[in-house]
């Protein structure tokens, strides 16, 4: 189901804060981030939101996985965090139709900066597709001479 207007964007957001954050605040910010990405992509002309999701793995302090599939303002939350969180390592995946990748990147990056900023904190954004595009990738394998993902690309993309 990868058509020419399908786009995938993956981002890692690293945040270090001077004082531990309450789990409820972290959860609230991640939910807002997912909902606002879906809403902004919809507003920008996305024809279909596939899945907007993120995961924060805080090791012994637990994890949170948050996702949404439309711009209705509903997000699903899995997992929980325990104790103060002083470092965030969040993976965001945006999979949708009808926008170009640069537009999705612009939306996701700017909303991540907005929703995951904390006073006195330091933030680092990493485009994971770009990071992985330097690694050797598997060559397409054709079974019976057929590329079953005829409309797939191979995950590579033009940089913005």
Q: H helices within the chain, ranges in order? A: 23-43, 101-115, 128-132
CA-based nearest residue to 149, from 3, 51, 10, 48? 3
Q: Which lies closer to other proteins via its Cβ, residue 105 or residue 119?
A: 105
Binding site for other proteins (CB under 8 A): 1-3, 6, 8, 10, 12, 47-51, 53-55, 57, 63, 65, 67, 69-70, 76, 78-79, 91, 93, 95, 97, 128-129, 131-132, 137-141, 143-144, 146-149, 152, 154-155
Contact yes or no for 3/151 (Cβ under 8 A): yes
Least Å distance, CB 141 to other proteins, is 4
Q: How far is CA 106 from CA 37, 39, 61, 94, 111, in A?
A: 10, 14, 31, 12, 9
Q: Which lies closer to other proteins via its Cβ, residue 72 or residue 117?
A: 72
Least Å distance, CB 145 to other proteins, is 11
């Amino acid at each position: 189901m990868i058509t020419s207007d399908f786009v995938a964007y993956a981002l890692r957001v690293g945040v270090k804060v001077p004082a531990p954050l309450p789990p409820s605040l972290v959860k609230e910010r991640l939910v807002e981030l997912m909902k606002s990405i879906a809403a902004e992509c919809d507003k920008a002309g996305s024809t279909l939101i596939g899945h907007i999701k993120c995961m924060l793995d805080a090791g012994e302090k637990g994890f949170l996985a948050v996702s949404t599939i439309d711009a209705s303002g509903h997000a699903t939350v899995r997992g929980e965090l325990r104790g103060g969180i002083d470092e965030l390592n969040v993976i965001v995946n945006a999979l949708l139709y009808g926008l170009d990748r640069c537009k999705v990147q612009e939306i996701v990056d700017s909303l991540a900066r907005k929703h995951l900023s904390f006073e006195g904190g330091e933030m680092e954004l990493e485009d994971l597709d770009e990071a992985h595009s330097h690694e050797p990738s598997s060559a397409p394998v054709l079974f019976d001479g057929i590329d079953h993902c005829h409309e797939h690309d191979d995950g590579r993309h033009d940089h913005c």
